[in-house]
A = this chain, B = another copy of it.
Amino acid sequence: MEEIVNPTQAKFAPITDAPGKFTVEATAGKARAAKLETAHGPVETPVFMPVGTKATVKAMLPEELKDIGAQIILGNTYHLHLRPTSELIKSQGGLHQFMNWDGPILTDSGGFQVFSLSGLRKINEEGVEFKSHIDGAKFFMSPESSMEIQMNLGSDIIMAFDECVEYPAEKSRIKESMDMTHRWLERCKAAMTRKESLLFGIVQGGLDIELRRESLKQITSVDLPGYALGGFSVGEPIHLMHDLVKEMGHEMPEEKPRYLMGVGTPLDLILMVDAGIDMFDCVMPTRVARNGTLYTWQGKISIKRSEYKNDPSPLDPECECYTCKNYSKAYLRHLFVAGEILSSRLNTIHNLHFYLHLMKKARKAIQDGVWESFRDHCLARFS
Chain A interface residues (CB < 8 Å from chain B) = 1-5, 54-56, 58-61, 83-84, 88, 91-93, 98-100, 307-313, 326-328, 330-331, 333-335, 337-338, 340-342, 344-345
Contacts and interface: CB of A to CB of B under 8 A. Distances in A.
Contacts of A58: 340-342
B3 A84 contact: no
Closest 4 CB pairs of A and B: A59-B341, A84-B334, A56-B342, A54-B338
B98 A330 contact: yes
B338 A307 contact: no
B340 A310 contact: no
Given A331-B99, A341-B345, A88 B309 contact: yes
A331 B98 contact: yes
Nearest to A290: B341
A341 B338 contact: no
A88 B310 contact: yes
A308 B342 contact: no
A342 B91 CA distance: 22
With a 10 A CB-CB cut-off, give which of A3, A307, A328, A330 has the most chain B CB atoms: A330
A92 to B, nearest CB: 5
A59 B307 CA distance: 26
| Chain copies in the assembled complex | 2
A43 B54 CA distance: 40
A335 B344 CA distance: 16
Contacts of A1: 307-308, 310-311
Contacts of A311: 1-3
A98 B327 CA distance: 7
B310 A54 contact: no
Contacts of A313: 3
A1 to B, nearest CB: 5
A55 B334 contact: yes
B328 A92 contact: yes
A93 B88 CA distance: 50
A330 B54 contact: no
Contacts of A91: 310
Nearest to A349: B61
Nearest to A343: B56
A141 to B, nearest CB: 20
A111 to B, nearest CB: 21
A308 B309 CA distance: 44
A59 B59 CA distance: 9
B338 A83 contact: yes
A301 to B, nearest CB: 12
Nearest to A342: B56
B88 A331 contact: no
A61 B78 CA distance: 32
With a 10 A CB-CB cut-off, give which of A99, A308, A334 has the most chain B CB atoms: A334
Contacts of A3: 310-313
Contacts of A330: 84, 88, 92, 98
Given A61-B345, A84-B334, A98-B328, A312 B5 contact: yes
A310 B342 contact: no
A98 B312 CA distance: 9
Nearest to A3: B312
Given A1-B311, A59-B345, A98-B334, 12 more contacts: A1-B307, A2-B310, A3-B313, A55-B331, A58-B341, A58-B342, A61-B342, A84-B330, A88-B309, A92-B312, A93-B312, A100-B326
